[in-house]
Amino acid sequence: MSELHTIPAEALDAADPLAHFREQFLIPRHGEGEQAYFCGNSLGLQPRGVREALLQELDDWAALGVEAHFRGRHPWMPYHAEVRDGLAHIAGAHPSEVVAMNSLTVNLHLLMASFYRPTAERPAILIEAGAFPSDQYAVASQVRFHGFDPARDVIEVQPDEPNGTISMAAIERALGEHGHRIALVLWPGVQYRTGQAFDLAAISRLAHARGCVVGFDLAHAAGNLPLALHDSGADFAAWCSYKYLNSGPGAVSGAFVHERHARSDLPRFAGWWGHDQATRFKMGPEFRPTPGAEGWQLSNPPILALAPLRVSLELFARAGLPALRAKSEKLTAYLEAQVRARLPDVLEIVTPAEPERRGCQLSLRVRGGRDQGRALFECLEAQGIVGDWREPDVIRISPVPLYNRFADISRFIAAVEAWAAPVGGVA
């Protein structure tokens, strides 16, 4: 890949076997053309098939009313099963280990209600320093809810690598020092600000060896990286579907519960929809959970919110996860090579260089400080080049293999070069 930056983007796009998938998405406009959209790590683009899928459900509602639960083109009663296999494929899990429900933070709380069982001797939760605020708030409130002190019992692993990333050695040291006090390790699949990806299986092994339960927040990993949740040994995980899974703003989240907990008597909050399907309609007073992840459901699935997820998962199945990952690695490598060759005095790459330690996102720090960073970000926005800003000084650029082109990356690089020219910018 050392000479990758010398290959014209047009040639790479012409040779891309997945190029036609871009046609399956609605690309936002900018002036007379299209945006260069690099913000799939925040909100994925709309698949063209979503509108028709939603109209089908609205038409079935209009024509069939309640009977659409059983006679619709996609019957509502078992609708969650329409996405179950696709989610299992994305998560690297058995179908019985996954379920689409709620939103990410709600799922984290529901799963922690079962899997975070603190004691006086073992009350702590281990997270990474600088975790996304939702995770910080969730774990602190869980610790506080159980009568413990977040100042003492939320343990943060500090970055120990030059760009603010965290080595496996640092995680191992934290578990070695504090493992006897840790009830739960809650870790990201990909750290939102740095774009660093983690070895989930290794973290699970280290944590379980210390007697800790392990859960993963996969907000930035699901649909971005190949996952193997079942084989990782993780106890639970949750993810959102509006980023790389392209399922719309506030889309239905996903949850994973390892099959060894499928019939456990772990405490949980219960709802009718989580009751064993075989006896659900007997309306009995005693809750009997459906074995597997579906037993954590509380309410009936929101059909109009699940329809976009069904459409998106069909695109992932058609493209194939190995092919998507191969293109993703090449796109991100091309971005990295262009930055290092043409913009070394302008941009610093925060994200690890090793492909196995990152997904599609590169976090870029603008040399010259926050004001320069904001100036560049706003300049890019004005040209229809859409990334996102994370305080205090990072621009995230995420070329998504389903709809981004190598030409989009060239457009970004040229825009940064123009901004940094002597007439303005950092030069």
Going from N- to C-terminal start, the domains of the chain cover: 4-34+321-419, 54-317
What is the structure's pLDDT at 129? 98
Residue 216: closest CA among 119, 131, 334, 338: 131
Q: How confident is the model at residue 422 (pLDDT cuts 50, 70, 90)?
A: low
pTM strictly above 0.85: yes
Q: How confident is the model at residue 423 (pLDDT cuts 50, 70, 90)?
A: very low
- Please check whether residue 196 is in contact with residue 168, taking contact to mean a CB–CB distance below 8 angstroms: no
Residue 361: closest CA among 271, 243, 236, 200: 243
Angle, CA of 197, 332 and 29, to the nearest 5°: 115
What is the structure's pLDDT at 247? 98
Fold of 54-317: Aspartate Aminotransferase; domain 2 (3.40.640)
Backbone angles phi, psi at 363, to 5 degrees: -90, 125
- Please check whether residue 38 is in contact with residue 399, taking contact to mean a CB–CB distance below 8 angstroms: yes
- Please check whether residue 333 is in contact with residue 1, taking contact to mean a CB–CB distance below 8 angstroms: yes
What is the structure's pLDDT at 424? 47
Helices 104-115 and 133-145 sit at what angle, rounded to 10 degrees? Answer: 30
Backbone angles phi, psi at 9, to 5 degrees: -60, -35
Tell me: cis bond preceding 226? Omega within 30 of 0 counts: no
Condensed to tens digits (0 to 9), the pLDDT of residues 28-47 reads 999 999 999 999 999 999 99
Q: Look at 106-110, 305-309, 321-325, 423-427 and tell me which has the smallest mean pLDDT.
A: 423-427
User: What is residue 93's DSSP assignment?
Assistant: S
CATH class of 4-34+321-419: alpha beta
Condensed to tens digits (0 to 9), the pLDDT of residues 259-294 reads 999 999 999 999 999 999 899 999 999 999 999 999
Condensed to tens digits (0 to 9), the pLDDT of residues 9-25 reads 999 999 999 999 999 99
Please list the alpha-helical segments (H only) found in 210-320: 229-232, 303-319
Q: Which two tokens stand for residue 272?
A: 């009718």
The H or E element containing residue 143 is helix 133-145
